[in-house]
Structure 1
Amino acid sequence: MTIEKRADRVAFKISGPDATHLLHDVLTPPVLEDGTARWFALLAPQGKLLAEGLIGWADGAHWLDVPASVAENFFKRMKMYRLRAKMDIEVLAETHAVGWSAEAPQIGIVHRDGRHEGLGYRVIAPLAESDDWVEGTGQAKARIVAGIAEMGPDFPTEDAFPHDIGMDHLGGVDFKKGCYVGQEVVSRMQHRGTARRRPVIVSDISAGERGDAVMIGGKNVGTIGSVVDGRAVGIARIDKITDGEGASVAGAPVSLALPEWARYGFAAPGGDSEDD
């Protein structure tokens, strides 16, 4: 079985009697001790993403992964929020590797990525057990086909709201629980239906790279993330797109489609998009 090593992600182990309660109060999704891997975000007070990844319970602890570029800031903020809580926060950058596998391996801490079918499994294992892990694009291909954006490859930190990347549709935001950091802004977007930037799948890319504009009728309607095999996840203004026809990236035509999990749609001709 092949496991891809994700050198761009850093794992955290958070445990202790107050860990679940504090994480539930700070992060965006429901944080439970049920073994389910959920998409989570740590937000700035203004509602934009500072970090994102999967959080899952195993062996008496919560196991998280975040982009390596924001791991230090994530650690500092979690220590700040901890205050006097009985909770241990372990940064595993020097001791553990984060990996991905299409099938469940018999190694380390394994959680199925439940955001969409076909996203495989996240693996966190000691470095000594990851020597035979390989470089690969399987995880990137799977999430691009599913239309799921990731911090780093597709958008920078403090650039997107949870709605912009579909976290509200994929279990990454709990709209029923009490206040968490950035909750007021995210809740307002939800209840007012003001989300207009949304993930789209951009295919047939023959030119262009991460950050390039998606153009329709001479207007910039969004940007693309990292390109793999001619596809990318774009974050686009769906209220500026009707049928996805006539789109281009770097001067070359591309195709636009909505993820199959999306409950939003392109704009009706002469009107706004629908977003349930």
Structure 2
Amino acid sequence: MTIHLRSDRAVFRFSGPDAHRLINDVVTGEIPTEGDKAAAWALLSPQGKILAEGLAGFAEDALWLDVHTSVADDFLKRMKMYRLRAKVDIDDLRETHRVGFAAEPAHLAHQDRRGPVSLGYRIIAPVEATIDWSTDDTAYHTARIANGILHQGNDFPANEAFAHDIGLDILDGIDFAKGCYVGQEVVSRMKHRGTARRRPVIVSGVDAPPDTPVIAGGRDAGTIGQVVDGKAVAILRLDRITDPSAATVEGKTVELSLPAWATYQFGDSVPSED
């Protein structure tokens, strides 16, 4: 079995009697206390923008969270601040452990399942156990892009997108039943007022760098993320896409399609929050 190294991910271990409460109280997702399934989550700013996102899995009496390397320092700093007097040990494993992707479980493994989308297993292992891992993570990104899954750092920067923008409300990345967490008011308002106007859209036939605008109806509808084999996921304004066959990127016509899990449609408009 091949394990593909995801070199752009950093992993942190949270342990201690208050570890679950700490994480559950500050991130969007339903954080597990058992089982081999990882939970999608996001750490938000008070304004509801994503500061960090990833997966959380329980194993060996601890919670294991991964984030993009570009936000790892800020994530660690914020979690230490939120910890206050809670009995939680936060271990920064960037020097000792690596994150990988595989079709089957190995080492410390959690199912990477987001709503109906299965992306195999997230693998965590000590550095010395990763010598034989493949350094080509194209297979992972090909799979997630085909399923319309966005990743911070690859597709959008910190403090720019809302949780609804990347579909966390549909992909089981938001626990709407639990109490308050940072940014919860914005998430709740977008759900109950139906004001999510930007959503993930798969863009095919792309020959342009990430962050290039998608033009629809003569207007900028959003930008593409990481491009793999001519495909990318973009966060686009649905109300600006009345004819998905007429969209362009750098003047070239591209194909827009919705992920299979989408509950939204091209042309959807939302009520004003004013």
Using the size of structure 1 for normalisation, the TM-score is 0.94
The residue number in structure 1 matching 2:232 is 232
Whether the 8 Å contact between 1:11 and 1:98 is mirrored in structure 2 is: yes
SS of 2:200's partner is strand
The residue number in structure 1 matching 2:4 is 4
CA offsets per residue over residues 209-264 of structure 1, 9 Å max, x none? 10001012321111100110010001100111124120111111100000000111
Whether the 8 Å contact between 2:32 and 2:39 is mirrored in structure 1 is: no
The count of aligned residue pairs is: 268
- Trace 1:36-185 onto structure 2 (pairs within 5 A): 36-101=37-102, 103-107=103-107, 109-115=108-114, 116-136=116-136, 137-185=138-186
Q: How many angstroms apart in 2 are the aligned matches of 1:239 and 1:174?
A: 27
The residue number in structure 2 matching 1:267 is 267
The residue number in structure 2 matching 1:26 is 26
Whether the 8 Å contact between 2:145 and 2:233 is mirrored in structure 1 is: yes
Q: CA deviation at 1:118?
A: 4.2
Q: CA deviation at 1:273?
A: 6.8
SS of 1:12's partner is strand
Moved more, 18-27 or 140-149: 18-27
Whether the 8 Å contact between 2:48 and 2:183 is mirrored in structure 1 is: yes
Q: CA deviation at 1:31?
A: 1.4
Gaps spanning 5+ residues in structure 2: where? none
CA offsets per residue over residues 32-84 of structure 1, 9 Å max, x none? 20222111111111110110000011111111100111111111111111111
Using the size of structure 2 for normalisation, the TM-score is 0.95
The one-letter code matched in structure 2 to 1:82 is R
4+ residue runs over 3 A deviation: none
Q: How many angstroms apart in 1 are the aligned matches of 2:45 and 2:82?
A: 13
SS of 2:113's partner is coil
Q: Percent identity?
A: 56
Gaps spanning 5+ residues in structure 1: where? none
The residue number in structure 2 matching 1:223 is 223
